[in-house]
Structure 1
Amino acid sequence: MATIPIIEKILSTGEHVVIRSAAPADALNAYHIQRSVVDENEFVITQPHELRNSEESYRGLIDKISRSEKELFIVAEVNGEVAGWLVFHTPSLQRRAHYGEFGMMLFRQWRGKGIGKLLISAMLGWAESHPVIEKVGLEVFSTNEHAIRLYQGFGFLEEGRRMRQIKLGSGSYIDLILMYRMVSE
């Protein structure tokens, strides 16, 4: 079972943050975070009317990941409330088992306060100590400059672009940037 040790920090704003492995009781909060981020409709592929996840699907995902040695679902709790989450997935194919990708979402009011950094740091610490994981990857909208700087701060490099991969409307496109970081050589 992939878990992380509990990490506790105090933000510069004074709030108490706990980074921990997700539990089934976090399913509703994880869904609410995704719903909120999707409703913003800025840096996500899913449009609000396309969201198919639910509390139950998150409960199943948390259960599935909690039984996997190569995947991770962690949450950030601020003053006892879940403020964000990070999910790390690996492919099922043996020749790609050394690689995984992550996605992260936070409620808007908690962005820019260091919570994303804490989640990524916890995930990278876990990945670096994992006996199989060698490479961590992600995809990010080319317009999401704040997120790109955050990832670069952790040593992630651009390894490619999917040109005009996201279509916002007639004649309006965004590139999808592929980034990676080696955690083991």
Structure 2
Amino acid sequence: MKILAIAGSNSETSINKQLVTYAASLFENAEIETVDMNDFEMPLYKHQREVESGVPQQAVDLASKIDGAHVLLVALSEHNGTYSAAFKNVFDWTSRIKNRAVWNEVPMLLMSTAPGGRGGLGVLEAAEKRFPLHGGNIVGTFSLPFFNDNFDKENQKISNEEKDNELKEMVQKISAIESILEK
């Protein structure tokens, strides 16, 4: 099984990257590739730029990675209740590739974490509404509130047993769906 783990943040110390990396590690016998938004920096999207220069190669490269995956793990950082500017720009450019849906119906676990009590619920709600319009096949969602209290940074795993079990149940659900699809 090929898993593409995407952290929707360009922070070098992204807590969502830590979460998505941990979630990916829970899959057995999986080939995992983690996407760093910093590898997909592109000019700020604007229609005139697209007309003049076309879609940047980085957007095409990300689309290719999505198409090659069996499962997408997407952990979104929340900036003012929605996506980070870095993620939104990559999403916008990728949506401009002709004859494709951004997520291409690849089964997806959508996640978020934050230092506060809502755990990124605002960005999850926004993505749950928007992603299906762009080929998002959201199999489940997961939110980890109070990241600093619920994630063991030294061992790089969720320390809150209830939340850890919740994520593990999601991983099992996606693994079961993927094994059915492979038959």
State the TM-score, normalizing by the size of structure 2: 0.34
State the TM-score, normalizing by the size of structure 1: 0.33
Structure (1/2) with the larger strand percentage: 1
The higher-RCO structure (CA 8 Å, 6+ apart) is 2
